[in-house]
Structure formats: C-alpha cells, structure tokens
Structure 1
Amino acid sequence: MSAVWPKRFIFSGVCLLSGLLTLPLQAAEVDQFSGRGALTLTDSAPLLDAEVNRRLQLAVDMANRPVTKPPQLRTRPALQYPACEEERLYDALAWELARPVIGQLETFAEEHPQISRHRVAFRDSVYRNFIWQQSPSLVLSERVAAVIRVGDVEIGSDKLGHFFTEGYSYFEVTERLQDSVEEGMLFGEWSESLYFGAQTTGVFSFADLAANLNGLRFWNRILAHHPDPLSGREVTPYIRCEQQRWQLVDTFHFSGYIDTAWNESVNCSAFRNLGMLEQVLHYQPRCTPQALPQHKYGRWQDRVLNHAGLQVLPDYLQPEVILAQRAFMREVRLPEGVLERIRELRLQLDIWRQQSPPLADSFHDHQQQEP
C-alpha cells in the first residue's frame, strides 16, 4: 500500500533547492588535474591505517565503558557494564570516525606533518573561473582538498570523509543493510545532486560515490552481520562480542577498499551545466577513464564509474528524477506536481545564477540602497 510522502521530505526537496545559496556548507572539491605528477607523493596508507585502528580501539573502549545505574535501580555496585550493546558501539564508532561535513580522517590527512600532500590553491585550480553564484560553497570558502597517495592510488583527502561519514549514512539509510543497497545508492546520488555537489559546488563527483559505497562495505564489516555488498561473500568482522565485551579482532587496511575509482582524474566528474564544463575544459584537464577498475563494482559499476569522461550532468541524475525513484523504493506517493515544481525551481535557480551580478557588485548595490 502506498502512503502520502511525509511533509519533511517535500520540504527537503522543494525548499532545499531555493535555499542552497545561503547554506554555509564546507563541502570541498579536489583538483587532481593541475600540477599532476609535479610532486612524487609517498604512501600515506601506514599512517592512515594506524589512525583508523587507533580510533576503532577508542570506540570499543568507549562502548565497553561502565555506566551509572539509575538511583531507583542502584544496589552495590552502582556501576554496570553494558553487555555488547550494538547501538552504543555504533554511536561510539560514529563519534570517532564519522563526524559530519569534514571527517576526522580527512582532517588527519590534511594536517598530519608526516603525510605527503599536493595542494592546489583555488586561484590556481581548474575551478578558478567559477563565480559564487555557480559554486557558492567552493568559491566562497576556496576550500580545495589536498591530494594524497594511499597505496598506489592518489585521492583527494575529502574522499576519506565520504568513506566514513557518507558510508555511515548509506549504512543507516539501508537499515544497516537489512534493506537494499539501492536505497543507499539513491541517497548518495540525491546528496551529490544537491548539497554535496551539483547545486553547491557545481560538481557531481562519481569518485565520491565510489568512496561512499566502499564506506558502506566498511560499516557492514564492523560486525559483519551481512555479506559484503559488492562481492556477496561472507567477511570477517573487525569487532566481535567476547565474554559480554566488545573486542577488536581484526586489523583495518585501506587497501581493501581504495581503488582508481576514487581518483577524480580517472573517475571523472560531471558538471551542472555546459558553461561550467567549458570553464574547466579551458585548462585542458587530462581524464583517463580507461584506468577504472574493471570488475569490482558488478551491478553498480554504471552508477559509480564514469566511463564517458568529463561531461554535463545527465538528466537522470537531476534531483527530481532521483526523488521519484526514492519515493518508488519506499512505496510512498508524492503530492501531484511536486517533481515538476522541483524541476522548475532548479531551472529558475540556474537562470538566476547566469543573470545575477558578481558578489562585489551585489554588495555594492546593497550598500547604495541603505539609508
């Protein structure tokens, strides 16, 4: 039986589009084209692996920590030890690994003195000609992620945030993989078409989607209640309940997750419109989709891998199309006309972006109008 789409989801569909320009997002983009090969990066995997394993142990310790009994239940002793409570464990893991917007490992990769990084300033990047109306969160923050090497693959540091934080979102959206992976994929495409990509930075990153999906694999492997969502094979958990206490029983390695699909000069992005694509192409970025992994992603490869190279965002990845698919998956009925309204708002916003004056002119006009 279908149900009426909840008002909060209509609000996130219609109002989000019209309010994006005032949203103080810090979502970063990475430029893996400028200065490519100019600096030989050393492998950061050992440092990153060690940091993840350190945080996994901290989360286990936090989840095992005793709690104080309510006064009405107190006898001696007053403390009780939780017996492998899953919610408590996932809360502790999210606290250590899945901070919203800018994740802990992303910050670690950006700041650790021993991690080799290649940085491109916004003014030197392939995005330098974007104006704030086109790409508010990127132009106003000028935040371009650093490039690091993990194993044999160079990635943007922002992918680490996607892996842990958005991967956890996939895990929650799929009810910890009790529901279809498709739920997570649609959520990722929805967020990338709106607040993490196309409507805020102008860039829809397929490499972000690859990191997100691998993040789902990681979160599933915490307790390994389900087979790996890509291979379908049973996996060894990182954490197991032993004698009523959580124990870290396996070691994390990024090598089990990272591949060339995380590299934006291989798994190339789509841009919100032709003008933005042309602004990037002016700097002759070299995209090599032939280096994408061939067999890893199975049924999801057409959703995660962009074999077409740099392109304009296709219609099937517009937010109103993805919203309709999400509604179908959840067996809910959208109010009549809501999808067309979202499409109209998106198109009107793009027209405004093309006609609106530069930020400095807008500020000057505003000052002139004040008494």
Structure 2
Amino acid sequence: MKTTHLMVFFLFLLTGLIAAAKEVDNLTDRYRPLQDSTEIFDREMNRRLQELQKETASEGIVCGDARKLRILFHDLNDSRFFIGSLESWAEDNQKVAKRTLDAQNSIYEGVLENGWIFNRLKLASTVKVNGQLIGTDKFGHFIDQGFEFYTPYRRSGYQMATALSSSLGSEKSYSGGDSTGTISYADSMANYQGVLFYHALAEGPNPYFRCANGKWTQVREFRWADYVDAGWDEGINCNELASPEAQRGFQKNISKLEAQAQKSKKSETYTCPVSQEACSQLRERYLSVEKYVLSPECRKVARAGRSGSSPQQKAGSGKGVR
C-alpha cells in the first residue's frame, strides 16, 4: 500500500476513534435553565418508526420475522460517519435546546487521555429529555449499541447479564477507557435501554409492531419517558476515569466549580453524584443489573443513604424499563 494510502487509512481509523469516543459534560453550567425537548424527540422517533413500517413493504420483510424488522430499523438509523444518526439530527436541529462545550472549557480540561486530540474536540451537546440532562451521544448508544448488544442477549437465551457484561466491557475498553480514558456508566445505561427497545420492537407483551392484515403495523407510539431517567445523566450516574492521574484532575476541575459556586454564595453542588435521592431510586429500580449500569459511586451513595442531596436534582419522572 502506498504511503499516501496508508496515511488516509490511518486518518480514517483515527476519525472513527474520535467520533466513537465523544464525551459530554453534565456538570458545568448544570444549573443554567434548559428547555425540555421531549416532545420533539418523541415526534422524531415515531417518524422513524413510521418510516420503518413503510420500508417493510418495499423491502419485502415477511410479517412475523422480528429479526429482520430489527435489522431494518437499525439499517435505516445506523451511524453516519461514526456518529449516531439521531445524535447528528439532534445536534443539527435548531428546535432542540442544547448546551455545547469544548473539552478545554469543561470538566475534562487537561484530563482526557490522548489530550492533544480529545482536549480540542467539541463535546456532545447536553439536552433535556424527560426532565433529565443527557448527552446527545446517548441516542447513538441507544440505537447502535443497543442493536449490537441485543445479539448476545438473544443468543444467550435472553440472559441480560450476558449482554450487559459485553456492554460494560466495551465502555472499559474501546468505547471509553482505552480511547478517551473515561468510563461512562450512563452510556452503559443507554445501551441497556436500547437492548430493551429492540426486544420490544416486535416481541414481548406490549410491542411497538404487530402483524395486521399480513403487514407489520405500528400499534403504539414510542415515548422516550419509558427509557430515559436519571441513569442517563453523567452528573448523577458518575463517570470513572481510567487512570488515577486523570481522576485527580477530574476532581480538581469539579472542585473549581464548587469553589465558584461558594464564592457566588450559591447552594449548587457539582460533586458527582449531585443527588443521593436519585441514586437511591435508581438502585431500587435496577437492583438486578446495578453493577452493569450504575456507577460504583452512585451505588455507594445509595447504599449509604447519606444526606445532603441537592434540592435541584431529583431522579425525575422517568420510570425506566425493567
């Protein structure tokens, strides 16, 4: 292979790594008002499900073949240039209220591994869905990684622990720990909810699609409130940094935010998790899979039941899907 081609090839791989390793900052500017965009995201997801219904006919997807229906949905909504299609839509949609930071002005300043690259990147934007602050990258995890980890879930005879072990393993390696050096349990939560979504697409007691008159037909609307809760919020479901040095730098940046709040005589807290109550509710909700989807710090705080949770942050109305 010629040198020029090799350079292009490695740049291609590097671009893919960068895009797949996006981070989000849900702590800086946490208490600045942000409009909730749930209805906008609900409409878009239902539009995509209606598109799926139309495409099943043109693609000749046999009614009753749930596997091909799942594959077709993913094919229609797969990542574009390594960025989730719904994530890209959210970033480009002017009607979606969002907050955007670059790494140099965030809690990741000087912290992310491979800093010469990642510390110059724009982070995933923060949006509000179902009352929760979440990164747009979570939609990519829900659709793409949810599809990826549905396979081990199905092949293991629907053993969720098998799928979630692979999911968390990816966060500790190529999706986080080995790329930016950040392990996101909120990403793992979005992966988990994505697995549940793909199962509910055409199976289970309350699927989105059923066979009607020989055709796949959407029989109920999608609601993000059925999936998004405080577990998607990295200000509550805390990140872990892969190295002790990075963890110390991360905590130092959080301490700066705390000091600024105290100087301004504000009662805001930035130390993760910002809400013990939210972690307690999450642990109760996800007890059977907590080690895969809830950060050690959130679980620790929930078990301790310590006081001092922030009045600004509650677990929210998201029910979660068990």
Give your verdict on TM over 0.5: yes
Structure 1: which amino acid aligns with 2:240?
A
Q: Which residue of 1 aligns with 2:245?
A: 275
The aligned residue for residue 33 of structure 1 is 27
Q: Which residue of 1 aligns with 2:285?
A: 296
Residue of structure 2 equivalent to 1:253: 223
Cα deviation for residue 179 of structure 1 reads 3.5
Please show how residues 269-348 of structure 1 align to structure 2 within 5 Å: 269-283=239-253, 284=255, 285-287=270-272, 288-290=274-276, 291-292=278-279, 293-308=282-297
- Any idea what SS the aligned residue of 1:175 has? helix
> Which segments of 5 or more consecutive residues in structure 2 lack a partner in the other structure?
1-9, 256-269, 301-322
Asked if residue 88 in structure 1 is aligned to residue 58 in structure 2, the reply is no
Partner of 1:63: 56
Distance in 2 (CA, whole Å) between partners of 1:167 and 1:66 is 23
Q: Which amino acid aligns with 2:124?
A: A
List structure 1 runs of 4+ shifted beyond 6 angstroms.
none
Q: State the Cα distance separating 1:167 from its structure 2 match.
A: 1.0
1:54 partnered with 2:61 = no
For 2:283 and 2:113, the matched residues in 1 are separated by 37
Distance 1:279 1:176, change over 3 A: same
**Deviation of the 1:50 alpha carbon:** 0.6
RMSD over aligned CA atoms reads 2.6
Distance 1:131 1:307 in 2: 20
Residue 36 of structure 2: aligned partner: 43
Q: 1:243: Cα distance to partner?
A: 1.8
Structure 1 residues 127, 41: closer, same or farther in 2, change over 3 A? same
1:158 equivalent to 2:137? Answer: yes
Please give the per-residue CA displacement for 1:225-244, whole angstroms capped at 9, x wherever unaligned. Answer: 4xxxxxxxxx3110011121
- Separation (CA, whole Å) in 2 of partners of 1:270 and 1:239: 38
Q: What is the Cα deviation at residue 185 of structure 1?
A: 0.8
The separation in 2 between residues aligned to 1:84 and 1:146, in whole angstroms, is 38
**Letter in structure 2 aligned against 1:295:** E
> Could you tell me how far apart the structure 1 residues matched to 2:292 and 2:187 are?
11
Determine if contact 2:210/2:218 at 8 Å carries over to the other structure: yes
The 1:300–1:114 alpha-carbon spacing in structure 2 relative to 1, beyond 3 Å, is: same
Deviations 1:72-110 (A, max 9, x none): xxxxxxxxx844443432222002334274212111221
Aligned CA distance change for structure 1 residues 114 and 222 (closer, same or farther; 3 Å) = same
Structure with larger Rg:
1
Name the aligned partner's letter for residue 37 of structure 2: S
1:303 maps to a residue whose letter is Y
Residue in structure 1 matching 2:198, options 219, 223, 241 = 219
Where 2:171 maps in the other structure, the secondary structure is helix
Q: Distance in 2 between matches of 1:251 and 1:309?
A: 32
- Superposition pairs of residues 79-228 of structure 1, within 5 angstroms: 82-99=62-79, 101-130=82-111, 133=114, 138-139=118-119, 142-175=121-154, 178-225=157-204
User: Against the structure 1 CA distance between its residues 43 and 177, is the aligned structure 2 distance closer, same or farther, given a 3 Å change threshold?
Assistant: farther
The one-letter amino acid of 1:90's match is: R
1:186-221 CA distances to partner (integer Å, 9 max, x unpaired)? 111111011110010100001111111111111111
Q: What's the counterpart of residue 210 of structure 2?
A: 240
Q: Structure 1 residues 238, 131: CA separation in 2 closer, same or farther (over 3 Å shift)?
A: closer
Counterpart in 2 of 1:262?
Answer: 232
**Equivalent residue pairs, number:** 268
Measure the CA separation in 2 of the matches of 1:298 and 1:241: 35
Shift of the 301–87 alpha-carbon distance from structure 1 to 2, 3 Å rule, reads closer
Q: Distance in 1 between matches of 2:183 and 2:239?
A: 6
1:257–1:177 Cα change, 3 Å: farther
Q: Report the Cα distance in structure 1 between the residues aligned to 2:161 and 2:226, rounded to whole angstroms.
A: 22
1:98·1:168 contact (CA, 8 Å) conserved in 2?
A: no
Aligned mates of 1:158, 1:131 — CA distance in 2: 17
Measure, in 1, the Cα distance between the counterparts of 2:288 and 2:67. Answer: 31
Q: 1:306 to 1:91 in 2, by over 3 A?
A: closer
Contact 2:156 2:162 in 1 (8 A): no
Please give the secondary structure, in 2, of the residue aligned with 1:30: coil
Give the fraction of aligned pairs with identical amino acids, expressed as a percent: 26
The range that moved more, 167-176 or 265-274, is 167-176
Q: 1:286 is aligned with what amino acid?
A: T
Q: Which residue of 2 aligns with 1:14?
A: none
